[in-house]
C-alpha cells in the first residue's frame, strides 16, 4: 500500500470525487467545474490534516469556537476556510478575521458588520447569500422578493464580494423532489445576476443529493458524512 492508500480517508474521499466527476459527465459539464467543500464540523484537526494530505484544500465549518481552534492548529497548511453555520451578531468579528468565505449570509446587518470588521490587509470576504428554497420556518435565508430588494445593498458593501447563492433544502429521498429547490436556486440566480454581479457560485448539494445539485448547476457541493462518516455529537 502507498502512503496515500493507507490514509483511512483515501477511499471515501475518492468515492466522493468519483461521484462528482460522474455527475458532471452525466450532464455534459466540464470535469472540475464543481468544487468540493469538505464539511469538517465535529472532526478533529488531525482528520482535517489527513484529508489535506490527500489534496483537499477547501474546508467548511459551522461552529465558530470549534473552527477557530482548528484554524490555529492547521495554520501552516495552505487551506481555505468557509463558514457555513448560523451567524451570531456578536461573533462576526472573528468570522471576518479568520475565514475566506461565508456561505450563510441571511441578514444585511450581519454582512454590514462583516464588511466593517474585515481586516484591511485581507482581500474582501467572499460571501454567498442564503436562500430559503423550501420555505421552512426553522431555516435562515432570504426569499426571492427580499433578495431582489437587498442585492444592491449587499453588493455596495466595500469589504465583501458577493459571489453567489447558497441553499440548504429539506432532505428528500425522491430524485425529482431533490431537484426542485436546486432548480429554483439556479433560476433565481439567472434572474438576479448581471454583468457587475455575476453570482457565479451556486453552493448547493450535500452527501445525499450532490448528483441532483450538480445536474442543476452547483459549482460547489458541501460534503461531510460521505467523506468522514456519520457525525458523533456526544464526543
Where do contacts with ligand PLP occur on this chain (CB under 6 A)? 39, 41, 62, 84, 168, 206-207, 222-226
Shortest distance in whole angstroms from residue 28 CB to ligand PLP: 25
Shortest distance in whole angstroms from residue 220 CB to ligand PLP: 10
Q: Which is nearer to ligand PLP, 37 or 151 (CB)?
A: 37
Q: Which is nearer to ligand PLP, 67 or 168 (CB)?
A: 168
The CA–CA distances, whole Å, from 30 to 18, 33, 57, 58, 168 equal 14, 5, 20, 20, 24
What would the grid cell of residue 187 be?
A: 433560476
Shortest distance in whole angstroms from residue 19 CB to ligand PLP: 12
Backbone conformation region of residue 55, classed left if phi is above 0, alpha if psi is from -120 to 50, else beta:
left
Shortest distance in whole angstroms from residue 141 CB to ligand PLP: 11
Q: Which is nearer to ligand PLP, 41 or 186 (CB)?
A: 41
> For residue 230, which phi and psi values (nearest 5 degrees)?
-60, 145
What would the grid cell of residue 173 be?
A: 429521498
Q: Which is nearer to ligand PLP, 60 or 217 (CB)?
A: 60
Cβ-proximal residue to ligand PLP, closest one: 224
Q: Which is nearer to ligand PLP, 181 or 224 (CB)?
A: 224
Q: Which is nearer to ligand PLP, 62 or 159 (CB)?
A: 62
Shortest distance in whole angstroms from residue 228 CB to ligand PLP: 8
Long-range contacts of 82-88 (CB under 8 A, 24+ apart): 82/37, 82/58, 84/37, 84/39, 84/60, 84/166, 84/222, 85/41, 85/61, 86/62, 86/140, 88/64
Tally of CB atoms within 10 A around 81: 20
Orientation angle between helical segments 108-117 and 144-156, nearest 10 degrees:
20
Shortest distance in whole angstroms from residue 7 CB to ligand PLP: 20
Question: Can you tell me the distance from the alpha carbon of 68 to that of 74, in angstroms, rounded to the nearest whole number?
Answer: 10
Amino acid at each position: 500500500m502507498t502512503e496515500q492508500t493507507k490514509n483511512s480517508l483515501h477511499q471515501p474521499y475518492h468515492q466522493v470525487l468519483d461521484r462528482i466527476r460522474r455527475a458532471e459527465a452525466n450532464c455534459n459539464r466540464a470535469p472540475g467545474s464543481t468544487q468540493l467543500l469538505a464539511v469538517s464540523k465535529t472532526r478533529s484537526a488531525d482528520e482535517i490534516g489527513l484529508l489535506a494530505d490527500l489534496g483537499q484544500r477547501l474546508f467548511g465549518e459551522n461552529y465558530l469556537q470549534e473552527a477557530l481552534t482548528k484554524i490555529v492548529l492547521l495554520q501552516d497548511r495552505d487551506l481555505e476556510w468557509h463558514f457555513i453555520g448560523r451567524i451570531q451578531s456578536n461573533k462576526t468579528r472573528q468570522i471576518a478575521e479568520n475565514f475566506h468565505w461565508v456561505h450563510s449570509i441571511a441578514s444585511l446587518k450581519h454582512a454590514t458588520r462583516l464588511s466593517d470588521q474585515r481586516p484591511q490587509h485581507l482581500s474582501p470576504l467572499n460571501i454567498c447569500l442564503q436562500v430559503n428554497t423550501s420555505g421552512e420556518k426553522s431555516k435562515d435565508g432570504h426569499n426571492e422578493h427580499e433578495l431582489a430588494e437587498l442585492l444592491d445593498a449587499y453588493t455596495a458593501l466595500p469589504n465583501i464580494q458577493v459571489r453567489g447563492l447558497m441553499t440548504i433544502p429539506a432532505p428528500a429521498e425522491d430524485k425529482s423532489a431533490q431537484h426542485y429547490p436546486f432548480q429554483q436556486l439556479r433560476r433565481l440566480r439567472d434572474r438576479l445576476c448581471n454583468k457587475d454581479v455575476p453570482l457565479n457560485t451556486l453552493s448547493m448539494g450535500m452527501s445525499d443529493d450532490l448528483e441532483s445539485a450538480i445536474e442543476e448547476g452547483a459549482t460547489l457541493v458541501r460534503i461531510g458524512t460521505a467523506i468522514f462518516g456519520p457525525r458523533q455529537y456526544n464526543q
